[in-house]
Amino acid sequence: MPRFSAVIGQQSKRAVQALLCHCASAHPVSAAERGSRWRQARRVLLLSGAGIGDALMATPLLCFLRHRYPHIRLGVITHTRSAPVFRAFPRLELICYHEDPSRITPLLLALWRCWRFRADVFLGAQPCNTLRHALFAAISRARLRLKHVSPERSEPDTACIFHYLCPTPEGRHRVELNLDLLRALGENIPEGTLRPVYPVADHARQRARQLLPQTFPWVALHPGGGRAQKWWGTDNFRAVAHSLCQRGYGIVLLGGRGEEPLGAQLAAGIQPVVNLTGQLDLAETAAVLQHCRLFIGNDSGLMHLAAAVGTPVVAIFVATDPAHVGPYSPMATVLGDGRGNIPTVEHVLAAAEHWLSSTEHEESNGRS
């Protein structure tokens, strides 16, 4: 039997859902009307998911808006964790929230700033399927609110407050799903033409050069990321690292705060290695990744960051669908399908050899 607090929590969510649908209900609008309201828009709010990867997969939408409509007022609602992604882009108004339910004041402040923004259009980038997301959409008061059809397992349905729900075809990548929001407004965006980006600051590049001397060509490894169910395994990463070291590469270990024990465990017995796990901010991590010949890691925000700065990626998928959230880059190899087909060390080394041989060939051509 569920605990009383859990029951009350669900009842409260249903009450908020009913209130939102009563006070902020939106009638579906035709394609022509969507286009008309979009052309009149001067203030646009984009809601991004909470993770670094979610934020990076929303950057193509963001870049299109800024390039196509340089004079609109553009705001982004995001979690404090992923806010550093958007701080790298100029002329954005950030509205940040925190998931900790004990920190209600930052959420109320974020909702107030959302209300003050007075958006004309609200775009709920993937994933936009929680009651908190619906609160932001409702309080925005936007005359046009769009998101995607929510999965069946999501929180109480709040589709009633959106004017249009984009379909979510199975196997469609999240980058294209986000761009579908703009296509639903009449924008012509060919498939595969926009990819995640992250502009690396000069000061971060200088820091990366200090951390990684030119003694070795470097390969970045990230053995963690998100849920442990997505991890390939420390022993597998250690075997890959030893093989690369024997070929003359240096190993850089990366990861966020809280992953330090994982980095220390992997670093033991590997030479040459630089363990930067938990020591860098996002801008410095991006610069280190850009300084490396290759990134090898699990499905994580760092995987998307490596792809966004143009570093070749070998992405290992154990428990998630790469067709939906894989690295959206032509310089990436995806191994595993998230359905039990886990790659071997030999598979990962073969993929690494492909990209390392390519970068070595390019550098030798540049020197000749």
CB 55 within 8 A of CB 173: no
Q: Are residues 99 and 168 in the same domain?
A: yes
Instruction: Say yes or no: 34 and 173 in one domain.
Output: yes
**Cα dihedral angle (185, 322, 237, 241), rounded to 10 degrees?**
-70
158 and 34 within one domain: yes
Q: Is 50 contained in some domain?
A: yes
- d(CA 282, CA 269) in angstroms, rounded, equals 27
Query: Considering 183, 217, 233, which residue would you say is the last residue of a domain?
Result: 183
Q: Other CB atoms closer than 10 Å to residue 112's CB: what's the count?
A: 12
34's CB contacts (< 8 A; 6+ apart) are: 144, 146, 163, 164, 184, 185, 186
Per-residue pLDDT for the chain (368 aa), expressed as one digit of tens each? 343 334 446 677 778 777 877 677 888 999 999 999 999 999 999 999 889 999 999 999 999 999 999 999 999 999 999 999 999 999 999 999 886 656 678 888 999 999 999 999 999 998 888 888 889 999 999 999 999 987 665 555 788 899 999 999 988 999 999 999 999 999 999 999 999 999 999 999 999 999 998 888 999 999 998 888 899 999 999 999 999 999 999 999 999 999 999 999 999 989 999 999 999 999 999 999 999 999 999 999 999 999 999 999 999 999 999 999 999 999 999 999 888 889 999 999 999 999 999 865 455 444 33
Task: Return d(Cα 368, Cα 366) in angstroms, integer.
Answer: 6
Q: What is the CATH number of the domain that holds 207?
A: 3.40.50.2000
pLDDT of residue 3: 39
Is 108 contained in some domain? yes
State whether 63 and 138 are in the same domain.
yes
Query: Do 179 and 291 have their domain in common?
Result: no
Question: What confidence score (pLDDT) does residue 160 get?
Answer: 87
What is the CA 147 to chain-centroid distance, rounded? 17
The answer to whether position 143 is within a domain reads yes
Asked if 119 and 45 count as a contact pair (C-beta separation under 8 A), the reply is: yes
Of 152, 183, 214, the residue that ends a domain is: 183
217 falls within a domain: yes
Task: State the pLDDT at residue 153.
Answer: 53
Q: Quick one: pLDDT at residue 311? A: 97
CA dihedral for 20, 43, 179, 322, sign (positive or negative):
negative
Residue 9 inside a domain? The answer is no
Phi (first) and psi of residue 74, to 5 degrees? -120, 125
* Residue at 325 is within a domain: yes
Domain count within the chain: 2
Q: Are residues 163 and 244 in the same domain?
A: no
pLDDT at 99: 67
Q: Are 292 and 220 in contact (CB under 8 A)?
A: yes
pLDDT in tens, 249-305: 999 999 999 999 999 999 998 999 999 999 999 999 999 999 999 999 999 999 999
Predicted structure pTM score: 0.92
Domain endpoint, select from 153, 183, 213: 183
> Do 49 and 174 share a domain, yes or no?
yes
Domain identity same for 318 and 354: yes
Token digits of residue 294:
């290759």
Find the domain containing 219 and state its range: 202-367
List C-alpha distances in Å: 295 to 5, 115, 315, 335, 362: 44, 41, 8, 13, 17
In a domain, 4, yes or no: no
Answer yes or no: do 39 and 159 share one domain.
yes
What would the DSSP string read from start to end of 213-270? -TTS-EEEEE---S-GGG---HHHHHHHHHHHHHTT-EEEE---TT-HHHHHHHHTT-
CB 305: neighbour CB atoms within 10 A?
28
Q: Both 147 and 60 in a single domain? A: yes
Q: Are residues 256 and 286 in the same domain?
A: yes
Using DSSP bridges, classify how beta strands 273-275 and 250-253 pair: parallel, antiparallel or unpaired.
Answer: parallel
Predicted confidence (pLDDT) per residue in 302-330, tens digit: 999 999 999 999 999 999 999 999 999 99
Residues 157 and 63 in one domain: yes
- Would 274 be classed as within a structural domain? yes
